[in-house]
Structure 1
Amino acid sequence: MADPLLAFYGDDFTGSSAVMEVLSFAGIPTVMFLKPPSAEELAAFPGLAAMGIAGVARSRDPGWMEDNLPQAFAALAEFGAPIVHYKVCSTFDSSPSCGSIGKAIDIGAPILGGAWHPLIIGAPAIRRYQAFGNLFAGTDDGVYRLDRHPVMSRHPATPMDEADLRLHLSRQTDRRIGLVDLASLKTGQTDRMLANQIEDGAEIIPIDVVDDETLADAGRLLWNEGRGPVFAIGSQGVEYALVAHLRALGDLPATFEPPKLAAVDQIFCVSGSCSPINSAQITAAEAHGFEIIDLDATCAVDVAEWDKAVEQALQASLQALSARRDVLVATAREPDASTSPLKQAISRSGSSAAEVNDRIGAGLGRLVADIRSRTGLPRAVIAGGDTSGHAMTALGVTALSALAPLAPGAPLCQVHSQNEAIDGLEVTLKGGQMGSREFFIKAKTGL
């Protein structure tokens, strides 16, 4: 498959790598850049069928989006793919003032075109399901409607108090929102319902996905529209759906055997996530022998204090690594206890939360860069959706390519960088909700 198939912008880095994972491990050559690539940077990866730009829009306000997204969308359009995807988190967490998906659509639609905009969030492979417009997400304890989800309903930045994606999105855009619902998908009325929605003036049309059958049908609708320009919005469910349909057509092999994840002798991990799921993964890593180094995030309200804290974490990490320990540096081990002090420190300092979060992510990125340059350690983990973006920028990364599966939504990737000390580093970018309890352990030992 040599012709351009799809281009994407990820509103955070972990989500971007999840898109690359789905495409690459279906046999579709894909590379993800950290900024709109030059012609020379694209030429360094011949034979690409898909390319993406990893961004940080999920943690940004509408003003930032207006200043930054048009350039990114223009670069995606220049790639010449029939489908351009604005990738959002599979839990759709967003608000009118932070990571507004509606604002991104309003900016992208005039640039990228399309008669209507498919919205595909459901992805059974990562236990995300959409039924009659409502989003459900799975945890180790079961499947929850999003407004009752034990984590996302209490997200520190964008709590999800509405599971109906139409209602949630209507707070962020005035564009008319329709729905291709589960009943029409299961009774063969999909095309008629879609036509009726478009005739009624719907511009954004969510498509229910609960299983492989509805996933493939969503891919069919996307591909049929994709013969002309189409601007799609959604999770990596967009790619799962497209792959399912192309396999049904015989345009992709029914199976594709990706490389196996090998073990490494030692691993270095950093975590800026405050998710309870991530906290449990840190606890499991500690029980497995990882050295956990606590990095006080409240220090990040002051530049000098933060630099001092990061340097102390670096020295402690080097000492533990020299003792043959695996190391995990964490800014939040107990989420309920950690996020509140940080919020209070930000409030007292008068700093903006965005500025402090940028500083935390950049500090963790510097840690990874310093450890790599001083030890040559081959593999690292960066946990936290927003953290990953700032950390990868601090690392000086040009692009990432997928190496091997690790956990759905969090593949092992290879770093491409002009910095020889960083180039070739293996890294996985993990959202707080992603992976099993043994995630950090498996990142070292392989699958």
Structure 2
Amino acid sequence: MPTLGAIADDFTGATDLATMLVARGFRTVVAVGADAVAALADAAQTDAVVVALKSRTAPVAEAVDDSLKALHALRAIGCRRFYFKYCSTFDSTPEGNIGPVTDALLAALGERRTVVVPSFPATGRTVYRGRLFVHDDLLDESPMRHHPLTPMRDSRLQRLLAPQTAHPVTRVGLDTVRAGAAALRAALAEPVHADALVVLDAVDDTDLTAIAAATEEFGLVTGAAGLAVGLTGPHPGAARARPASRPGDVGVVLAGSASAATRAQVAHALDHLPHRRLDLHRLRADFDTAVAELTAFVREHWAADPARPPLIYAVATPDDIETDTPAGAEPPAALVERALAACAVTLVAAGARRLLVAGGETSGAVVTALKARTLGIGAPIAPGVAWARTEVCPAGTAHTVDLALKSGNFGDTAIFTEAWEQLV
């Protein structure tokens, strides 16, 4: 029976955390939405359940409501400790949603304090003196400064979080974290932190291990997937899900993210894979026909060279980002999500059994359109990215497919061409 319940604010974040938990010895399942939790067929053989929500950029009230529903569902199946997972780049706006969701979860659990730990050193995210770094750059000097949905223009986590929460926001520095779990536990028990969201410095995995040990009695922790580095599950060497597809099965890459990392991955793939960029003007003029043309392009290349998965993408360079959306037109991000989700539905019906999706919002749209309910974590591809086995039923016919959901900021440059090697 699961004892650890996690609530992730997007779908790539859910698989990111689940991948880490499996590596740490937790038999883990990702449930797509709160309603899927109660229907878990193998809950008795599970140590952790991660609920994947599409709440990162949702209205605050909706994000809070969805998160509380997930919490209720996790408690109902026996979970006793909880983890609110958000992005390691702390993606949010001044209104939320990290602060409001954290406040709501604390209140529902009867807890007064928690920690804030977005560090994930394996992907270059660290916190020092309360400032969040992306590799060598401060958050507000990184490409996240120009994110189209959640532009991050401050690196000080206390200052970012304070407008979002009713709790004080305090900080514990690296010296205390490095003093060890006992010292950190004592510091967190001080009155100044009794009713607070406590930002913790962490720059390497040993820091995360100390934090996990110091907070093992907390009813709720919050952070990126890196915090799971310090956890130890009851089943070391927990088996990963076996691939659903077989050698020779066709696949596709659907890239909706406009992040700098994904743009570099797209640019690399343009030299190696058949590709087609989304034409937003064409989609607005005749959505169904434009999607049919895109999926026909993919099927033609499957027939010619099934070993090379075609790429459908939104952005390869900053010049591809639409800056002059026609008045009254569907916003570009929403249109990209809808188009790639429609492509996924058509292509699975046409035989796709391997899908690599780039972008958190895009991943949420694709998984929702495919009507996936649970994800079994399979082979890792990169830090924070893994293949997952899932049953989809987009048009009344069930198919079991391999699905990789990649955060826009994660993965090596060659991930779109090399990820398939893990499906053996």
Name the TM-score, length of structure 2 as normaliser: 0.90
Give the % identical residues. Answer: 26
62-71 vs 201-210, greater mean Cα deviation: 62-71
Q: CA deviation at 1:282?
A: 1.4
* Residues 92-112 of structure 1: per-residue CA shift (max 9 Å, x gap): 021034x52111122222213
Matches within 5 A, 1:137-286: 137-138=134-135, 143-149=136-142, 151-188=143-180, 189-196=183-190, 198-199=191-192, 201-225=194-218, 230-243=219-232, 253=236, 264-265=247-248, 266-286=250-270
| Distance of aligned partners of 1:39 and 1:173 in 2 relative to their CA distance in 1, 3 Å threshold | closer
Residues in 1 aligned to 2:29 and 2:93: alpha-carbon distance in whole angstroms: 29
Q: What's 1:294 paired with?
A: 277
Residues in 2 aligned to 1:367 and 1:444: alpha-carbon distance in whole angstroms: 20
Q: What's 1:432 paired with?
A: 408
Residues in 2 aligned to 1:299 and 1:331: alpha-carbon distance in whole angstroms: 13
| Distance of aligned partners of 1:401 and 1:38 in 2 relative to their CA distance in 1, 3 Å threshold | closer
- Aligned to 1:178, what secondary structure does the other structure show? strand
Matches within 5 A, 1:46-195: 46-97=44-95, 100-138=97-135, 143-149=136-142, 151-188=143-180, 189-195=183-189
Q: What's 2:29 paired with?
A: 31
| Contact 1:4 1:49 (8 Å CA) reproduced | yes
* Residues 292-314 of structure 1: per-residue CA shift (max 9 Å, x gap): 111123555x4x62222212111
Asked whether 1:390 is paired with 2:365, we answer: yes
Gaps of 5+ in 2: none
| Contact 1:373 1:422 (8 Å CA) reproduced | no
Letter of the structure 1 residue corresponding to residue 385 of structure 2: A
265-274 vs 393-402, greater mean Cα deviation: 265-274
Residues in 2 aligned to 1:209 and 1:257: alpha-carbon distance in whole angstroms: 30
| Distance of aligned partners of 1:264 and 1:146 in 2 relative to their CA distance in 1, 3 Å threshold | farther
Q: What's 1:338 paired with?
A: 320
Residues in 2 aligned to 1:184 and 1:332: alpha-carbon distance in whole angstroms: 43
Letter of the structure 1 residue corresponding to residue 402 of structure 2: E
Q: CA deviation at 1:252?
A: 5.8
Q: CA deviation at 1:174?
A: 2.7
| Distance of aligned partners of 1:157 and 1:326 in 2 relative to their CA distance in 1, 3 Å threshold | same
Q: Of 346, 370, 379, which residue of structure 2 is paired with 1:404?
A: 379
Q: CA deviation at 1:180?
A: 2.1
Residues in 2 aligned to 1:431 and 1:298: alpha-carbon distance in whole angstroms: 26
| Contact 1:412 1:427 (8 Å CA) reproduced | yes
* Residues 335-391 of structure 1: per-residue CA shift (max 9 Å, x gap): x1122x2x422xx232464xx63443232122122212212x331101111110011
Residues in 2 aligned to 1:344 and 1:13: alpha-carbon distance in whole angstroms: 29
Q: CA deviation at 1:190?
A: 1.7
Q: CA RMSD in A?
A: 2.5
- Aligned to 1:57, what secondary structure does the other structure show? coil
| Contact 2:254 2:356 (8 Å CA) reproduced | yes
Residues in 2 aligned to 1:241 and 1:367: alpha-carbon distance in whole angstroms: 39
| Contact 1:178 1:202 (8 Å CA) reproduced | no
| Contact 2:106 2:113 (8 Å CA) reproduced | no
Letter of the structure 2 residue corresponding to residue 90 of structure 1: S
| Contact 1:113 1:231 (8 Å CA) reproduced | no
| Distance of aligned partners of 1:115 and 1:406 in 2 relative to their CA distance in 1, 3 Å threshold | same
Q: What's 2:297 paired with?
A: 316
| Contact 1:25 1:258 (8 Å CA) reproduced | no
Residues in 2 aligned to 1:235 and 1:441: alpha-carbon distance in whole angstroms: 27
Letter of the structure 1 residue corresponding to residue 177 of structure 2: L
| Distance of aligned partners of 1:38 and 1:405 in 2 relative to their CA distance in 1, 3 Å threshold | closer
| Contact 2:25 2:235 (8 Å CA) reproduced | yes
| Distance of aligned partners of 1:402 and 1:314 in 2 relative to their CA distance in 1, 3 Å threshold | same
Q: What's 1:374 paired with?
A: 350
Q: What's 2:286 paired with?
A: 305
| Distance of aligned partners of 1:283 and 1:263 in 2 relative to their CA distance in 1, 3 Å threshold | farther
62-71 vs 126-135, greater mean Cα deviation: 62-71
- Aligned to 1:364, what secondary structure does the other structure show? helix
Letter of the structure 1 residue corresponding to residue 310 of structure 2: V
